[in-house]
Structure 1
Amino acid sequence: MNYQVDLNGFYGNYGGAFVPEVLQEQITRLQEQYLAILQEPDFQAEMARLLADYVGRPTPLYYAKNLSEKYQTKVYLKREDLCHTGAHKINNTIGQILMAKRLGKNKIVAETGAGQHGVATATVCALMDMECIIYMGALDMERQAPNVARMKMLGAEVRAAQSGAKTLKEAVDEALLHWIENPDDTFYIIGSVVGPHPYPDMVARFQSVISAEITKQLVDLEGRSLPDYIIACVGGGSNATGAFYHFLEEETVGLIVAEGGGKGLDSGQTAATSFLGKDGILHGSKTLFMQDKKGLPVEAYSISAGLDYPGFGPLYAHLKEVNRVEFLAIDDDAAMQAGLALCKLEGIIPAIESAHALAVLDKKKFKPTDVVVVNLSGRGDKDLHNYTTYFKL
């Protein structure tokens, strides 16, 4: 089974580039040039230098002794929360800002949900002295106020998306509209493995540094390069893709996705795309997303601002179709309890997105000899208000 994108930008039956005519020239140019640019020695050298000296890679693969004792299995945490800006998102924005420079763009637009991609984009724009506009749902701006402040301190203009659910989907809508209106000088830094080809593949390649490091680190820690399981949360899917990338064709490695179950699959307040999604075109690609009777995206809900997206990237639609990944819907309470447990057992405060992945440890039984890697995609600083409010601390 091949899990890489084909020449037309499809993973099996999903993917492609469905964009307005005004963007076709920009998308075609990017499709034709991105692989060649990625392979340039100068690009690779600059990327490697920034990942090491600026982002702080490699991130540790930490043996969580107390978690391992609780769940009677070997639990390792891939510490993406220790990246500069506090999440995996910086891996991708470093790559895309370098791509934008080589394509002659001098302005950047982006969307953000939990704010981590917005912060990472604002960070690299400050580094490269580029104008930066970030669209963020008005509700998410309230939930993630610390990240809004960080973006503004870094020099970005943060614009509120006021339509619909006022969350991530609406932020993407507004960012795409901005790009449509400013195609010549603006590059859209998409934060996840979503959107028109080549974005899902490009983001996957930039995030694949995570799984590349895991293979090397496990050799030192366990004497083998393959874990038994990797667990990651999925909204659009970027951190999971990074953690899964080098293991997709290793069928002995179990890949487990934690989705935002919200208040339950039948509640009308969920983001469990794999259970409720249908085929359709969303934000420039064919994928699975939750729809109403007219085929329009419905409002997604999760206590996590980074998971309340009504769909996911086309790679995940393909992985579901071929049964390569196990999907679990994690409800709000399970995620919050798992996040608090990590705080008390390991002294690490995770992002609520990452807490959904940790909750899988309560849902599945693993063998004592299993090596289970949980991708800790971000730190919980941005979520302290949500944690303290939820638990009345």
Structure 2
Amino acid sequence: MNYNVDVHGYYGDFGGAFIPEMLYPNVEELRQNYIQIASDPAFQEEFHALLKDYVGRPTPLYFAKRFSEHYGCKVYLKREDLCHTGAHKVNNTIGQILMAKRLGKKRIIAETGAGQHGVATATVCALMGMECIVYMGAIDIKRQAPNVARMKMLGAKVVPAESGSKTLKDATNEAIRDWINNPVDTHYIIGSVVGPHPYPDMVARFQAVISQEIKWQLEEKEGRENPDYVVACVGGGSNAAGAYYEYLNTPEVGLIAVEAAGKGVNTGESAATSQLGKSGIIHGSKTLLMQTEDGQITEPYSISAGLDYPGIGPMHAHLYASGRAEFISITDKAAMEAGLLLSQLEGIIPAIETSHAFAIFEERKFKADDIVVVNLSGRGDKDLNTYIEYFKL
């Protein structure tokens, strides 16, 4: 079985482009051009130069000695938290801003949940001198205030989404509405492996630099390219897509996707899409999403704004449905405790999204000689207020 996208934009049963007629020209223009543009040597040269000199790649692959001793296996951390802007999101925004320039677009829109993608989009728009509008749920604006301030400092206009649950899903809805109203001059930089084809594949390709680096870095450290497991948190799933990409069709590498169980999978306050979701269409693609019996989207919940999404990207839906990836759901409590533990064992404060990935070591046992790479997708600066309130620090 092939786990990459097919020529029709599908991963197994999931994917495609389910879009309003008004958006068809935009999406079709991108579909027809994205691979040709991205594979052009001049594009690749500019992309990789910016990743090196601006983003600060390659990011280290760090052996977490004390964390490893604590759990009795070999744990490496892929340090995406050390990227410029503090998370993996900038890999994709660099790629997409270069794509937008080559397509002649002048105006950039984006959606954001935790704010990291919004900051990354505002950053590359400042770099390239392009107008930037970021849609963000009103609730997320309150709980991610430092990132909102960063976006504004970078020259972006931050527009609150006041509908629905006032979180990531609603911000995405508002961004799509904007795109429908401004189809000619606007490029929508989607921040995750969601949306209509070609977005899930395009974002995964730009994030694939993560696993490309893991391969040669692990070869240097362990004399082998392949770890036993790659672990990443999954909301929409771009950091996981990047960490998995080079290993998708390497069955001996186990893929572990960690979702937000919120207050418990069956409490009604969760974002564990793999366990609670059914096949349906959200934001332009067929995937697994949380929904009622009559197909209305269920409001998700997670203490982490970046995992507070009612669906997963079609690549991840296929990885789940096919059994290629193992999906684990982690509660708010377990994630917060794991974030504190990593901070105190390794001196690294992770984003709460990433903390979910570290929490699996409490319940998922590994062998002593297993090499487990955890994608440390973002740093915890943006979440300090949440940590402070939770632990009464």
TM-score range, shorter chain: over 0.9
The corresponding residue for 1:279 is 279
Give the whole-Å Cα distance in 1 for the aligned partners of 2:227 and 2:293: 42
Q: TM-score when scaled to structure 1? A: 1.00
The corresponding residue for 1:165 is 165
Kindly indicate whether residue 54 of structure 2 is the aligned counterpart of residue 54 of structure 1: yes
TM-fit CA distance, 1:159? 0.3
Over the aligned positions, Cα root-mean-square deviation in angstroms equals 0.5
The corresponding residue for 2:30 is 30
The corresponding residue for 2:117 is 117
Contact conserved, 2:4 with 2:248, CA < 8 A, in 1?
A: no
Give the whole-Å Cα distance in 2 for the aligned partners of 1:206 and 1:274: 25
Contact conserved, 1:231 with 1:360, CA < 8 A, in 2?
A: no
The alignment partner of 1:244 has SS state of helix
Paired residue type of 1:364: R
The corresponding residue for 2:288 is 288
Give the whole-Å Cα distance in 2 for the aligned partners of 1:382 and 1:39: 34
The corresponding residue for 1:10 is 10
The corresponding residue for 1:329 is 329
Give the whole-Å Cα distance in 2 for the aligned partners of 1:28 and 1:248: 27
The alignment partner of 2:267 has SS state of coil
The corresponding residue for 1:238 is 238
The alignment partner of 2:211 has SS state of helix
The corresponding residue for 1:41 is 41
The corresponding residue for 1:374 is 374
Q: Extract structure 1 runs of 4+ deviating beyond 2 A.
A: none
Please, which runs of 5 or more residues in structure 2 have no aligned partner? none
Equivalent pairs, count: 393
Deviations 1:299-346 (A, max 9, x none): 100000000000010011111111000001100000000000011000
Paired residue type of 1:67: F
Kindly indicate whether residue 83 of structure 2 is the aligned counterpart of residue 83 of structure 1: yes
Paired residue type of 1:163: S
Please, which runs of 5 or more residues in structure 1 have no aligned partner? none
TM-fit CA distance, 1:152? 0.2
Kindly indicate whether residue 299 of structure 2 is the aligned counterpart of residue 299 of structure 1: yes
The alignment partner of 2:232 has SS state of strand
Counting only pairs closer than 5 Å after superposition, residues 250-265 of structure 1 correspond to structure 2 as 250-265=250-265
The corresponding residue for 1:350 is 350
Give the whole-Å Cα distance in 2 for the aligned partners of 1:70 and 1:363: 13
Contact conserved, 1:110 with 1:188, CA < 8 A, in 2?
A: yes
The alignment partner of 2:133 has SS state of strand
Contact conserved, 2:138 with 2:166, CA < 8 A, in 1?
A: yes
Q: TM-score when scaled to structure 2? A: 1.00
The corresponding residue for 1:183 is 183
Range with greater deviation from structure 2 (22-31 or 206-215) = 22-31
Contact conserved, 2:78 with 2:375, CA < 8 A, in 1?
A: yes
Contact conserved, 2:232 with 2:374, CA < 8 A, in 1?
A: yes
TM-fit CA distance, 1:265? 1.1
Kindly indicate whether residue 194 of structure 2 is the aligned counterpart of residue 210 of structure 1: no
Identity %: 68
